[in-house]
């Protein structure tokens, strides 16, 4: 494989990629946030996330073949949970774009993209483990870092650690 | 012809082919056995548990179980100031603390609008590359042990000790340095540091060659690793692989080159990829070769840095560090090339607090390990050990 293109720091390339997505999906995605450090857009119609993800990966002008990171986020003010996906076109077009999704804080769910990018499998399990949103269609939706019978979701802002775990005092 | 007595033979199928030929078929499908490998298994390099479903010697599925070393890095980050997170990043990947510190500093500095003095950047690159060599030496040495070669391990640890002494001299600690700070360094390097590093490079070059001859070209070692655990390039990218793992699959991708940070754009080095003459592209041996070749590249980088580094006159390593580190409002995903791949930090700052709202560490080994299920399918148990060794996991970073 050829040496990949030097990763672009320019927001303009991300904006060009966004324009292609906006043309196809219209109102399903939000306006483009062209900040310097992490340009992103939000998927408003969460149910279409898988379809959008496939388009991002397979469209010839986008080719986002690499998911660098998927982070869970808590938005207590909006009563929402969310994820942030950092995508880029590794070795192909060299542009980057971040995608955000939000769901309800209690019992919210987001469609999985582990079938689009395999790496999302463990990242989504981690997000579920720490925040508690479910990923519908995920092949293996279990906790990954905490024990399976742990109570609560540690990275939520209002998390209170449980008193005891199997008779062991937890806070010390 | 006598009648056959099949009672007591269990599941034996009897077919009479002709008058004097009787075929007895015993159902030989073996029972599936669950074999728990780890969490206290020497070749899992820490507390990793693999639950293997085995059919005889063949692994049909290996499911990793993590979390034995989970220390809530991300929750901790939300409760302390930015500078207090730096020592914690050492404890994630404890074999390459300098690289982790650098990745975190690079990420925060993107939100800070400060200019880092050039001498700081060169010192950072030198210590990071020294640490990369030390980390690769552990990876190569322990990989040899996994496959039954004990001697290279002793060679590796002897030379690693020289690097650790150099880093101890600069920072005061052997492994957990807290040396690279956001915006600067804890202190300048000692006066003769560059001279001693140059001496080390001169000493280590022939040793690295010897190590290559001793292990990488070793017939037994090659037989154990060649053609084992092959990962095609496109699947590797889809799995989010990075670092030597991705380069082992033949993808020329190195964040030092493709997403340049610090002074790497000024330095000349090759992105090491296997040429496919000696190994099959994407197998365990390729990944090992990439690490072995990268040691040479790191030595080249160190030499160039010493040549180009500005002098110490009037130099204050803390001059660019803000009094209170309070990044502007926004989000950033900053990353750097660690010995194990891409270490990224997703940081969310509200612009008012000196603590991050959210700090997610994208661990390279965590992502590399996630391909274990596919990689292990249909392999023999001894080959499973070769595959885990080639991923080069540090459980401190997998579990955070």
pLDDT digits (tens, 9 = 90+) for A71-128: 999 998 888 899 999 998 887 777 888 999 999 888 888 999 988 999 999 999 999 9
Chosen for mutation from B79, B106, B110, B238 (greatest number of chain A CBs closer than 10 Å) is B238
A7 neighbourhood in chain B, CB within 8 Å: 255, 258-259
User: Is the CB of residue A37 less than 8 Å away from at least one CB of chain B?
Assistant: yes
The strand pairing partners of A29, in sequence order, are: A43
What's the longest Cα–Cα distance across chain A?
A: 57
> How many CB atoms are located within 10 Å of the residue A74 CB?
23
Instruction: Tell me how far apart the terminal alpha carbons of chain A are, to the nearest angstrom.
Output: 53
Predicted local confidence at residue B1, as pLDDT = 47
Predicted local confidence at residue A128, as pLDDT = 92
Kindly state the average pLDDT of the residues B204-210: 89
Task: Please name each of the domains of chain A with its CATH number.
Answer: 11-146 (3.30.460.80)
The DSSP-derived string for B175-241 is S----EETTEESSPPPTTHHHHHHHHHHHHHHHHHHHIIIIIT-HHHHHHHTTSS---HHHHHHTT-
Kindly state the average pLDDT of the residues B218-237: 88
Predicted local confidence at residue B26, as pLDDT = 67
Say yes or no for a CB contact (<8 Å) between B240 and A35.
no
Q: In this predicted model, what pLDDT tens digit does every residue of B238-276 receive, in sequence order?
A: 998 988 999 988 888 888 888 888 888 888 888 888 887
User: Is the CB of residue A150 less than 8 Å away from at least one CB of chain B?
Assistant: no
Which among B235, B258, B367 has the least Cβ separation from residue A7? B258
Predicted local confidence at residue A1, as pLDDT = 43
CA B139-B145-B147 angle, 5° bins: 105
Rounded Cα gap, residues B54 and B188, in angstroms: 55
Predicted local confidence at residue B135, as pLDDT = 92
Which among A4, A69, A72 has the least Cβ separation from residue B258? A4
Q: In this predicted model, what pLDDT tens digit does every residue of B325-360 receive, in sequence order?
A: 888 888 899 889 999 889 999 999 888 888 888 899
pLDDT category at B310 given cuts 50, 70, 90 is confident
The yes-or-no verdict on residue A3 having pLDDT over 60 is: no
Classify strands B379-380 and B58-65 as parallel, antiparallel or unpaired. antiparallel
The yes-or-no verdict on residue A15 having pLDDT over 70 is: yes
Q: In this predicted model, what pLDDT tens digit does every residue of B273-307 receive, in sequence order?
A: 888 788 888 889 999 999 999 999 999 999 999 99
**Topology of domain B72-399, CATH:** Cytochrome-c3 Hydrogenase; chain B (1.10.645)
Q: In this predicted model, what pLDDT tens digit does every residue of B5-41 receive, in sequence order?
A: 555 556 667 777 777 787 777 666 667 888 888 787 7
Predicted local confidence at residue B10, as pLDDT = 60
Tell me what the pLDDT averaged over chain B comes to.
86
Predicted local confidence at residue A47, as pLDDT = 87
**Is A44 within 8 Å of A68 (Cβ atoms)?**
no
Predicted local confidence at residue B302, as pLDDT = 92
Distance from CA of B78 to the nearest CA of A (A): 9
Predicted local confidence at residue B201, as pLDDT = 92
**Domain boundaries defined on chain B:** 72-399
Say yes or no for a CB contact (<8 Å) between B335 and A91.
no
> How many CB atoms are located within 10 Å of the residue A40 CB?
22
Predicted local confidence at residue B299, as pLDDT = 92
Tell me what the pLDDT averaged over chain A comes to.
85
Distance from CA of B32 to the nearest CA of A (A): 22
Both structure tokens of A84: 């942030």
CA atoms within 13 A on the CB side of B381: 13
The yes-or-no verdict on residue B373 having pLDDT over 50 is: yes
Distance from CA of A71 to the nearest CA of B (A): 6
What's the longest Cα–Cα distance across chain B?
A: 106
DSSP code, position B264 = G
Which among B238, B333, B370 has the least Cβ separation from residue A69? B333
pLDDT category at B137 given cuts 50, 70, 90 is very high
């Amino acid at each position: 494989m050829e040496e990949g293109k030097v990763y672009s720091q320019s927001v303009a390339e991300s904006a060009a990629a966004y324009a292609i997505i906006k043309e196809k999906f219209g109102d399903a995605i939000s306006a483009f946030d062209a900040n310097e450090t992490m340009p992103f857009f939000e998927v408003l119609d969460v149910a279409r996330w898988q379809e959008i993800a496939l388009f991002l990966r397979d469209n010839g002008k986008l080719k986002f073949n690499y998911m660098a990171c998927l982070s869970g986020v808590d938005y207590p003010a909006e009563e929402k949970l969310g994820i942030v996906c950092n995508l880029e076109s590794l070795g192909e077009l060299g542009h980057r774009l971040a995608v955000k999704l939000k769901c309800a804080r209690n019992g919210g769910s987001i469609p999985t993209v582990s079938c689009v990018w395999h790496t999302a499998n463990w990242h989504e399990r981690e997000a579920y483990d720490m925040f508690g949103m479910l990923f519908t269609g995920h092949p293996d939706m279990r906790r990954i870092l905490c024990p399976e019978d742990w109570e609560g979701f540690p990275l939520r802002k209002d998390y209170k650690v449980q008193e005891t775990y199997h008779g062991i005092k937890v806070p010390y | 012809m006598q009648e056959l007595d099949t009672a007591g033979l269990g599941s034996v199928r009897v077919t009479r082919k002709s008058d004097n030929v009787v075929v007895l078929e015993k159902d030989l499908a073996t029972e599936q056995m669950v074999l728990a490998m780890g969490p206290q298994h020497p070749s899992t390099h820490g507390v990793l548990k693999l639950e293997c479903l085995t059919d005889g010697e063949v692994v049909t599925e290996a499911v990793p179980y993590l979390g034995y070393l989970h220390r809530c890095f991300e929750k901790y980050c939300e409760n302390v100031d930015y500078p207090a997170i730096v020592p914690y990043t050492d404890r994630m990947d404890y074999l390459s603390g300098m690289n982790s510190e650098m990745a975190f500093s690079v990420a925060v500095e993107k939100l800070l609008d400060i200019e880092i003095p050039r001498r700081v950047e060169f010192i950072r690159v030198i210590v990071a590359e020294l640490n990369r060599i030390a980390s690769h030496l552990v990876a190569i040495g322990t990989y040899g042990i996994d496959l039954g070669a004990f001697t290279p391990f002793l060679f590796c640890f002897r030379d690693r000790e020289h690097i650790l002494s150099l880093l101890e001299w600069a920072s005061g600690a052997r492994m957990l340095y807290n040396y690279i700070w956001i915006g600067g360094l804890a202190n300048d390097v000692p006066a003769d540091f560059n001279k001693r590093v140059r001496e080390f490079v001169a000493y280590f070059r022939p040793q690295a060659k010897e190590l290559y001859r001793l292990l990488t070209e070793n017939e037994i070692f090659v037989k154990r690793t060649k053609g084992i655990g092959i990962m095609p390039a496109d699947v590797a990218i889809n799995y989010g692989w990075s670092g030597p793992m991705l380069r082992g699959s033949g993808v020329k991708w190195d964040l030092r080159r493709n997403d340049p940070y610090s002074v790497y754009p000024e330095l000349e080095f090759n992105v090491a990829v296997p040429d496919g003459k000696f190994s099959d592209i994407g197998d365990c041996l390729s990944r090992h070769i990439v690490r072995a070749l990268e040691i040479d590249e790191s030595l080249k980088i160190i030499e160039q840095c010493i040549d180009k580094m500005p002098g110490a006159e009037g130099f204050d390593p803390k001059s660019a560090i803000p009094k209170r580190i309070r990044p502007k409002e926004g989000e950033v995903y900053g990353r750097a090339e660690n010995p194990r791949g891409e270490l990224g930090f997703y940081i969310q700052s509200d612009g008012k607090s000196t603590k991050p709202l959210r700090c997610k560490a994208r661990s390279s080994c965590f992502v590399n390990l996630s391909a274990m299920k596919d990689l292990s399918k249909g392999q023999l148990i001894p080959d499973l050990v070769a595959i885990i060794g080639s991923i080069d996991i540090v459980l401190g970073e997998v579990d955070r």
